[in-house]
C-alpha cells in the first residue's frame, strides 16, 4: 500500500513543475514589465528601468524561473507588485474562504446527490426519477452568476433571510454554497443514478436476489460500494475544479477568496500573485487527486495492484 502512495506522491512533482513552467512562460509572453505595471503611465522610462533592475527583471528567463522555483520550495513566492505583501501569506489568508466554500459545496453535494441518485435508480421511471433528472438538467444549464443573483434577489432582498455579500459568518456561506454546488449536484446525481442502474443489472445482484436476500440489504451491502468508485472520482475532480472555479460565485457574493485574488491579480498584471495563486491551486488539486487515488485502494482492493 505504501509503495502505491509513494509512487503517486512522486508523480505529483513533475506535474507541478510543468504547470509552473507553463504559467511562467505564458506570463513572460504577455506584454508589460513590473516597472510599468507598478509605476503606471505617468512614470519616466528611467524610473521604470530602475525598478525593473531592482526587481531582477532584466536577467534571462531561465535564471528567473529557476530562482523562482528555488525560493518557492522555501515557501517564498515573492511579493505582490501592488501591495508589496508576501504572496504566500496573501494566498494563505484568502484560502480559508475558498476552502470553506468548496468543502461545504462538496458536503452538500454528497448529502443531496447520492441519496437522490440512488433513489432515482432504484425507483426508475417513477416521479422521483423524472423530477430529479429534470432538476439536474436545470441546474447544469443555468449560468452560475445568474443563479447566484437570483438567489440574492429572492432570499436576500425580498425575504431578507440571508446576507448578500461577505464571508463573516456561516449564514454568509449558505447562498454561495448552494450556487457553487448546483452544477456539481447535477453531475453527481446523474452519475450516481447511471452507475447504480448499471450495477443493479449485474449478475451478482441477480444472484443475491435469487438467493432470497432482502432488497435493502442488497443495495447497501453490494451495490453502493461498487457504485462509489466513479462517484468518488468525479467528486475528487470536482473538488479540485471548484477550488479553482469559485471566482464567479466569490465575485457575485463579494467574498474575498483565492478566486477574486487571482482574477484581481490578472487584471492588474500582478504577476507574482498570479504565479503564486496558480501554483498553490495546482498543488491543492494534485493533493486532492492523490487522496482520491489512495481512497481507491480502500474502496476497491483490486486497484492496489
Task: Tell which one of 3, 84, 201, 302 touches another protein (CB under 8 A).
Answer: 84
Candidates 5-13, 63-71, 209-217, 250-258: pick the segment binding another protein (CB under 8 A): 250-258
**DSSP string of 198-240, one letter each residue:** HHHTSHHHHHHHHTT--HHHHIIIIIHHHHHHHHHHHHHHHHH
> Binding to another protein by residue 142, rule CB under 8 A?
no
Task: Tell which one of 166, 174, 241, 294 touches another protein (CB under 8 A).
Answer: 166
Q: Which three cell numbers stand for residue 291?
A: 487522496
Q: Least distance in Å: CB of 235 to another protein?
A: 11
Q: How far apart are CA 184 and CA 109, in angstroms?
A: 7
Q: Which three cell numbers stand for residue 129?
A: 426519477
Candidates 7-15, 18-26, 32-40, 132-140: pick the segment binding another protein (CB under 8 A): 32-40
Nearer to another protein (CB atom), residue 129 or residue 231: 231
Task: Tell which one of 65, 124, 251, 294 touches another protein (CB under 8 A).
Answer: 251
Q: How far apart are CA 218 and CA 206, in angstroms?
A: 10
Task: Tell which one of 252, 271, 282, 288 touches another protein (CB under 8 A).
Answer: 252
Q: Which residue is it, cell 505504501?
A: 2
Q: Which residues of 58-87 are buried (b: 16+ CB within 10 A; e: fewer)?
A: eeeeeebeeebeeebeeeebbbbbeeeebb
Site mask for another protein (CB under 8 A), range 96-115, x = bound: ----x--xx--x--x-----
Q: How far apart are CA 37 and CA 41, in angstroms?
A: 8
> Binding to another protein by residue 152, rule CB under 8 A?
yes
Q: How far apart are CA 109 and CA 90, in angstroms?
A: 29
For residue 79, the cross-strand partners are 86
Q: Write phi, then psi, for 271 (nearest 5 degrees).
A: -60, -45
Which has the closest alpha carbon to 278: 56, 104, 10, 18?
18
Candidates 10-18, 181-189, 254-262, 279-287: pick the segment binding another protein (CB under 8 A): 254-262
Site mask for another protein (CB under 8 A), range 205-234, x = bound: ----------------x--xx---------
Q: Least distance in Å: CB of 230 to another protein?
A: 15
Residue 93 CA to its chain's centroid (Å): 17
> Binding to another protein by residue 86, rule CB under 8 A?
no
Please work out the total of residues on this chain that contact another protein, with binding judged by CB under 8 A.
Answer: 56
CA-based Rg of the chain, rounded to a whole angstrom? 24
Q: Least distance in Å: CB of 264 to another protein?
A: 7
Residues that bind another protein (CB under 8 A): 30-32, 36-37, 39-44, 47, 51, 82-85, 90, 93-94, 100, 103-104, 107, 110, 149, 152-153, 156-157, 160, 163-173, 221, 224-225, 251-254, 256, 260-261, 264, 269, 298-299
Amino acid at each position: 500500500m505504501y509503495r502505491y502512495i509513494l509512487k503517486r506522491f512522486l508523480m505529483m512533482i513533475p506535474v507541478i513543475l510543468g504547470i509552473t513552467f507553463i504559467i511562467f512562460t505564458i506570463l513572460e509572453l504577455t506584454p508589460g514589465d513590473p516597472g510599468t505595471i507598478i509605476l503606471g503611465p505617468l512614470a519616466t522610462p528611467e524610473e521604470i528601468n530602475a525598478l525593473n533592475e531592482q526587481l531582477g527583471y532584466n536577467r534571462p528567463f531561465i535564471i528567473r524561473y529557476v530562482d523562482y522555483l528555488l525560493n518557492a520550495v522555501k515557501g517564498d513566492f515573492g511579493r505582490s507588485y501592488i501591495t508589496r505583501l508576501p504572496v504566500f501569506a496573501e494566498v494563505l489568508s484568502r484560502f480559508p474562504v475558498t476552502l470553506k466554500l468548496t468543502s461545504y459545496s462538496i458536503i452538500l453535494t454528497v448529502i443531496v446527490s447520492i441519496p437522490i441518485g440512488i433513489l432515482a435508480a432504484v425507483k426508475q421511471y417513477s416521479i422521483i426519477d423524472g423530477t430529479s433528472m429534470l432538476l439536474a438538467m436545470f441546474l447544469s444549464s443555468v449560468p452560475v452568476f445568474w443563479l447566484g443573483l437570483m438567489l440574492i434577489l429572492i432570499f436576500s432582498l425580498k425575504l431578507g433571510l440571508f446576507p448578500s455579500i461577505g464571508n463573516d459568518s456561516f449564514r454568509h456561506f449558505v447562498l454561495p454554497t448552494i450556487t457553487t454546488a448546483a452544477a456539481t449536484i447535477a453531475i453527481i446525481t446523474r452519475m450516481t443514478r447511471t452507475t447504480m442502474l448499471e450495477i443493479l443489472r449485474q449478475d451478482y445482484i441477480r444472484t443475491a436476489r435469487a438467493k432470497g436476500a432482502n432488497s435493502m440489504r442488497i443495495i447497501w451491502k453490494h451495490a453502493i460500494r461498487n457504485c462509489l468508485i466513479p462517484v468518488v472520482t468525479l467528486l475528487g475532480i470536482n473538488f479540485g475544479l471548484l477550488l479553482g472555479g469559485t471566482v464567479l460565485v466569490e465575485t457575485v457574493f463579494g467574498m474575498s477568496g483565492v478566486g477574486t485574488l487571482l482574477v484581481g491579480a490578472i487584471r492588474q498584471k500582478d504577476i507574482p500573485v498570479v504565479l503564486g495563486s496558480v501554483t498553490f491551486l495546482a498543488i491543492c488539486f494534485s493533493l486532492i487527486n492523490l487522496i482520491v487515488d489512495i481512497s481507491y485502494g480502500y474502496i476497491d482492493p483490486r486497484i492496489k495492484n
